[in-house]
């Protein structure tokens, strides 16, 4: 895309398409960064997956469970919980450290190429992210706290909604049992209402998580501090609920599609074999995980495209680029830095 002007009227489908284009264009650099930071961490986390322990399967198999002594069952349960707890701790440490460097480096490379029209190497991008390590860590912590708040509110809403849903279902069943002919319409309306609630919840969660992810480019590109980066997300996300929510929801669905297909294929193979193959199942999990992590940066590209789109829509970034080009032609020796300022070359 030679000009960002088209992003002024971009829809979420355009952002998804643009993000995939950015991923393909910078695949080599993104894959190197992914191979350095993300894939090894995810493979390490897999070692803490209970699926790969024999004790897990003994608890799942009724015949094995009967043969197991109570002391062995307690030991197995403690071991499984310890592995899950260890996986959560490692995931959290990775999220606030190396994940920041990986995502920040990808954002820098994409933004420098698309907006500033200059090349940033993998080494330069990683070095600059390590230079902002503390700010990125604080920004990620704030982002995780926002996620926790969103899911806490969601949990309360769902907990309260379950009571209303249980009474509604009971009423529909009673109506269907007594009045067979008039029960069809309420039943259809009930199903549509449940689907509507699921879609609404997905959009709301997607909006908040997608909007506040932009703390990353706010820090890496604009040089904001951690708290200011959250405020920056509010500015960029204002009046863009559906654009952000749909981009987040469909972006995640798109990225999870391929690992899901891998899991389904191995599941069908296991069913056709007539028995549950433990080793085949474990291999399928590893392959699906590798596919998922290779494609994970697609989300970063999509969200970076969303960030650029929102800046074009709200702040006229495309017009600013035109002014940069005019000034470069006049000065002949000035180029914008990664923060959008000008440095002599």
Residue 208 clears pLDDT 90, i.e. is over it: yes
340 sits in the region (left: phi over 0; alpha: psi -120 to 50; else beta) called left
Q: Which residues contact 336 (CB under 8 A, 6 or more apart)?
A: 116, 324, 342, 343
Concatenating the DSSP letter of every residue in 159-185 gives HHHHHHHHHHHHHHHHHHHH-TTTSHH
Output 40 or 160, whichever has higher pLDDT: 40
- Report helix angle 241-272 to 12-25, nearest 10: 60
| Element (DSSP H or E) covering residue 331 | helix 317-331
Which is it for strands 334-336 and 342-344: parallel, antiparallel or unpaired?
Answer: antiparallel
- Give phi and psi for 260, each to the nearest 5: -65, -40
Q: What is the pLDDT of residue 156?
A: 86
Domain regions of the chain by residue span: 12-325
pLDDT tens-digit map of 27-54: 999 999 999 988 888 777 776 665 555 5
Between these two residues, 162 and 58, which has the higher pLDDT value? 162
Distance in angstroms (rounded) separating the CA atoms of residues 237 and 231: 10
Distances (CA, A) of 55 to 59, 79, 290, 297, 319: 6, 8, 24, 34, 61
pLDDT at res. 230: 94
Find the mean pLDDT for residues 263-290. 68
- Of 76-85, 284-293, 303-312, the least confident: 76-85
How high is the mean pLDDT of the chain? 80
Residue 341's pLDDT is 42
pLDDT band at 345 (very low <50, low <70, confident <90, very high): very low
Residue 1 predicted with pLDDT over 60: no
Higher-scoring residue by pLDDT: 195, 212? 212
Q: In Å, what is the CA distance from 112 to each residue of 32, 267, 269, 294?
A: 18, 43, 45, 22
DSSP letters for 36-65: IIIHHHHHHHHTT-GGGSHHHHHHH-HHHH
């Amino acid at each position: 895309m030679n000009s960002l002007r088209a992003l002024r009227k971009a829809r979420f489908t355009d952002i998804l398409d643009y993000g995939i284009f950015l991923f393909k264009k910078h695949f080599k650099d993104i894959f190197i960064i992914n191979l350095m930071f993300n894939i090894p961490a995810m493979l390490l986390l897999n070692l803490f997956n209970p699926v790969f322990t024999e004790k897990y399967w003994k608890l799942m198999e009724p015949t094995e469970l009967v043969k197991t002594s109570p002391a062995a069952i307690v030991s197995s349960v403690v071991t499984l919980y310890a592995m899950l707890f260890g996986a959560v701790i490692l995931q959290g440490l990775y999220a606030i450290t190396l994940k920041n460097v990986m995502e920040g480096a990808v954002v820098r490379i994409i933004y420098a190429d698309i907006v500033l029209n200059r090349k940033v190497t993998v080494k330069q991008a990683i070095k600059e992210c390590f230079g902002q390590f503390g700010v990125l860590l604080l920004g990620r912590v704030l982002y995780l706290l926002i996620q926790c708040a969103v899911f806490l509110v969601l949990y309360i809403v769902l907990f309260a909604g379950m009571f209303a849903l249980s009474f509604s279902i009971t009423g529909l069943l009673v109506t269907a049992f007594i009045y067979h002919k008039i029960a069809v319409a309420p039943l259809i309306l009930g199903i549509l209402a449940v689907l509507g609630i699921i879609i609404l919840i997905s959009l709301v969660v997607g909006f908040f998580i997608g909007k506040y992810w932009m703390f990353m480019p706010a820090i890496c590109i604009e040089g904001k501090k951690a708290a200011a980066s959250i405020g920056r997300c509010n500015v960029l996300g204002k009046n863009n609920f559906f654009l952000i929510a749909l981009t987040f929801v469909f972006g995640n669905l798109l990225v999870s599609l391929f690992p899901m297909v891998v899991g389904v294929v191995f599941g069908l193979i296991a069913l056709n074999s007539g028995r549950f193959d433990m080793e085949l199942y474990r291999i399928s999990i590893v392959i699906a995980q590798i596919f998922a992590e290779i494609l994970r940066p697609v989300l970063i590209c999509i969200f970076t495209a969303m960030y650029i789109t929102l800046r074009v829509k709200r702040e006229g970034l495309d017009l600013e680029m035109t002014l940069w080009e005019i000034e470069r032609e006049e000065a002949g020796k000035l180029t914008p830095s990664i923060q959008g300022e000008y440095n002599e070359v």
